[in-house]
């Protein structure tokens, strides 16, 4: 399948066949694509835990979020959930990763001089700026690039995915035994789609010239109609939703998954708020305990 087609068809698939397991080799291909993605300074701080519903311990399944506004049903039905997270302990090893780039011929011309430059100048600079780098968002950006590559591979393999946040991660962190110095970026449900790949048509997007500029922020990037037609012919740009059959498809999906008409449930919101309050209380208790121990 051509990349343009994959990009065109890559939209969130919220409805997955809960009875169809996902082959591990397909999940591996997603992870391989993420591993090869670009990372600043070759840091490679992105990690993942794959939760396979058919083989995961019961406590791990129970630790999945009860809901995320209108997404709880996805966690309850997805055959696979990938928990993507950042390992902050990878950042101090950035100097080693840079030296690896030199040895691989990706950085510098004179190997000896470049290694010396790294040790005497560049690595001390990055070490001094590491706290700022940690909060700058660049690690999350690189994680997003890697996850996007994994998502493209998933669609090329005939899978559907949806990336979701979670309001509280305390139970999941415990169940997965995540190290303390980590940050969950998002959860990605994976499985075979139960809905049409076109998902009712192309999702609404803001106008091209509103989003992209040339040279200055007030000068729209010129959009060539011929390029638009080329991409439309390749399937990257598709008919806008809502397609005529979508209403019937949504009704069918509602019945299959036992959902309300808005695909949400007031009880889910209550569960989310309860989890958030419990997490806040637990964090406060831990902080008070630590403060008392330091006295």
Asked whether the predicted pLDDT for residue 1 surpasses 60, the reply is no
From 64, 78, 81, select the one nearest 19 (Cα to Cα): 78
Q: Which residue has the tokens 């509280």?
A: 168
Asked whether the predicted pLDDT for residue 67 surpasses 70, the reply is no
Residues 132 and 41 in one domain: yes
27: phi then psi, degrees, rounded to nearest 5: -65, -40
Decide which of 159, 194, 229 is a domain's last residue.
194
Asked whether the predicted pLDDT for residue 34 surpasses 70, the reply is yes
Q: How confident is the model at residue 84 (pLDDT cuts 50, 70, 90)?
A: very high
163: phi then psi, degrees, rounded to nearest 5: -95, 130
Does some domain include residue 277?
Answer: yes
How many residues in total does the chain contain? 295
What is the rounded end-to-end Cα distance, in angstroms, of the chain? Answer: 64
- The C-alpha atoms of residue 157 and residue 143 are separated, in whole angstroms, by 21
Asked whether the predicted pLDDT for residue 168 surpasses 70, the reply is yes
- The C-alpha atoms of residue 235 and residue 151 are separated, in whole angstroms, by 18
Residues 134 and 271 in one domain: no
Sign of the four-CA dihedral 233, 238, 240, 242? positive
Residues 30 and 125 in one domain: yes
Asked whether the predicted pLDDT for residue 98 surpasses 70, the reply is yes
Is residue 85 reached through a cis peptide bond, with omega within 30 degrees of 0 on the bond before it? no
Q: Which residue has the tokens 């598709």?
A: 238
Q: Which residues pair with 178 in a beta bridge?
A: none
Split into its structural domains, the chain has a count of 2
Non-local (6+) Cβ contacts of 103 within 8 A are 111
Decide which of 158, 178, 194 is a domain's last residue.
194
Q: What is the pLDDT of residue 11?
A: 61
- Low-confidence winner among 23-27, 44-48, 86-90, 196-200 (lowest mean pLDDT): 196-200
Residues 292 and 165 in one domain: no
Non-local (6+) Cβ contacts of 141 within 8 A are none
Asked whether the predicted pLDDT for residue 9 surpasses 80, the reply is no
Q: How confident is the model at residue 287 (pLDDT cuts 50, 70, 90)?
A: confident
Q: What is the pLDDT of residue 262?
A: 75
Does some domain include residue 214?
Answer: no
Asked whether the predicted pLDDT for residue 10 surpasses 70, the reply is no
User: pTM to 2 decimals?
Assistant: 0.85
- The C-alpha atoms of residue 2 and residue 236 are separated, in whole angstroms, by 10
Compute the mean pLDDT over every residue in the chain, rounded to the nearest whole number: 88
Q: Are 182 and 47 in contact (CB under 8 A)?
A: yes
From 148, 209, 155, select the one nearest 8 (Cα to Cα): 155
- Low-confidence winner among 22-31, 179-188, 281-290 (lowest mean pLDDT): 281-290
Q: Which residues pair with 46 in a beta bridge?
A: 86
- The C-alpha atoms of residue 202 and residue 123 are separated, in whole angstroms, by 46
Q: How confident is the model at residue 166 (pLDDT cuts 50, 70, 90)?
A: confident
pLDDT tens for 212-235 read 999 999 999 999 999 999 999 988
Q: How confident is the model at residue 271 (pLDDT cuts 50, 70, 90)?
A: low
pLDDT tens for 124-139 read 999 999 999 999 999 9
Decide which of 179, 194, 209 is a domain's last residue.
194
From 224, 227, 246, select the one nearest 236 (Cα to Cα): 227
Asked whether the predicted pLDDT for residue 7 surpasses 60, the reply is no
Does some domain include residue 115?
Answer: yes
Does some domain include residue 52?
Answer: yes
Asked whether the predicted pLDDT for residue 96 surpasses 90, the reply is yes
Range of the domain at 124: 1-194
Asked whether the predicted pLDDT for residue 58 surpasses 70, the reply is yes
Is 49 or 73 the better-scoring residue by pLDDT? 49
- The C-alpha atoms of residue 269 and residue 260 are separated, in whole angstroms, by 14
Kindly report each contact of residues 251-254 with a partner whose C-beta sits within 8 Å and lies 24 or more positions away, as own/partner: 253/15, 253/194, 253/195
Q: What is the pLDDT of residue 236?
A: 86
Asked whether the predicted pLDDT for residue 270 surpasses 70, the reply is no
Is 91 or 168 the better-scoring residue by pLDDT? 91
- Low-confidence winner among 153-157, 180-184, 251-255 (lowest mean pLDDT): 251-255
Q: Are 85 and 184 in contact (CB under 8 A)?
A: yes
From 148, 146, 154, 147, select the one nearest 1 (Cα to Cα): 154
Q: What is the CATH number for 176?
A: 3.40.109.10
């Amino acid at each position: 399948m051509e990349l343009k087609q994959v990009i065109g068809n890559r939209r969130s698939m919220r409805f997955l066949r809960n009875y169809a397991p996902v082959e591990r080799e397909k999940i591996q291909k997603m992870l391989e694509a993420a591993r090869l993605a670009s990372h600043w300074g070759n840091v490679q701080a992105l990690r993942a835990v794959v939760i396979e519903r058919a083989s995961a311990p019961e406590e791990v399944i129970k630790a999945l979020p009860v809901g995320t506004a209108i997404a709880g049903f996805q966690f309850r039905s997805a055959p696979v959930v990938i928990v993507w997270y950042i390992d902050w302990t990878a950042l101090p090893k950035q100097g080693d990763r840079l030296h690896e780039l030199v040895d691989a011929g990706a950085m510098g011309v004179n190997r000896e001089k470049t290694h010396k430059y790294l040790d005497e100048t560049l690595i001390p600079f990055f070490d001094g700026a590491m706290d700022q780098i940690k909060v700058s968002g660049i690690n999350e950006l690189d994680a997003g690039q890697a996850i996007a590559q994994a998502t493209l591979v998933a669609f090329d393999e005939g899978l559907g995915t949806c990336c979701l946040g979670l309001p509280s991660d305390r139970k999941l962190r415990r169940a997965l035994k995540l190290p303390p110095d980590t940050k969950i970026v998002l959860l990605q449900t994976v499985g075979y789609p139960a809905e049409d790949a076109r998902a009712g048509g192309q999702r609404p997007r803001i106008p091209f010239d509103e989003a992209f500029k040339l040279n200055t922020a007030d000068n729209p990037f010129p959009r060539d109609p011929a390029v638009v037609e080329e991409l439309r012919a390749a399937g990257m740009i598709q008919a806008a939703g809502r397609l005529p059959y979508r209403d019937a498809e949504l009704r069918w999906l509602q019945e299959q998954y036992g959902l309300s008409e808005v695909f949400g449930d007031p009880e889910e919101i209550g569960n989310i708020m309860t989890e958030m309050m419990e997490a806040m209380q637990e964090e406060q208790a831990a902080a008070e305990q630590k403060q008392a121990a330091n006295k």
